[in-house]
Amino acid sequence: MEKSKVEITVRNQNYTIITDDAPEKVLALANGLNTMLDGIMDSGKVTLTQALVLAALDLADKAKTYKTLADKYKSEIADYLEDAERAMTERDRYKRENEKLRERLSGN
């Protein structure tokens, strides 16, 4: 994908982002960050820098949580795939056994 420049504003400060992502995605991320910062700064007791650190910590925590969940789901899916493979192998064995029994019955 082609890189593009996206102009965003975070707490009245303008930034130019060069990205492979769709501009709409980057703008949505900036809007989400602004919303998060607005919520943190509503108390009036934190500076922008402090709010950014708190937001970064919150986002890092969420990213870690989601990565842990993704790893758990990957493991569960791998287990389900192993179970499915075993079931298919067993099914194939029963099919062969069934076929042999049918041959025996038709031969008698």
Domain count, the chain: 2
Please tell me whether residues 37 and 5 are part of one structural domain: yes
Residue 7, domain extent: 1-45
Four-point Cα dihedral 17, 23, 28, 30, nearest 10: 10
- Together in a domain, 107 and 68: yes
Could you tell me the sign of the dihedral formed by the alpha carbons of 54, 34, 41, 43, in that order?
Answer: negative
Reported as a pLDDT band with limits 50, 70 and 90, residue 44 is confident
Domain contains 74: yes
Write the pLDDT tens digit of every residue in 80-105: 999 999 999 999 999 999 999 999 99
User: pLDDT tens-digit profile of 22-36?
Assistant: 999 999 999 999 999
Quote the percentage of the chain above a pLDDT of 70.
98
**Do 4 and 33 fall into the same domain?**
yes
**CA gap 47, 105 in Å, rounded:** 85
Beta bridge partners of 16: 7
Tokens of residue 41, six digits: 């700064």
44 sits in which H/E element: none
Residue 98 lies inside a defined structural domain of this protein? yes
pLDDT at 60: 98
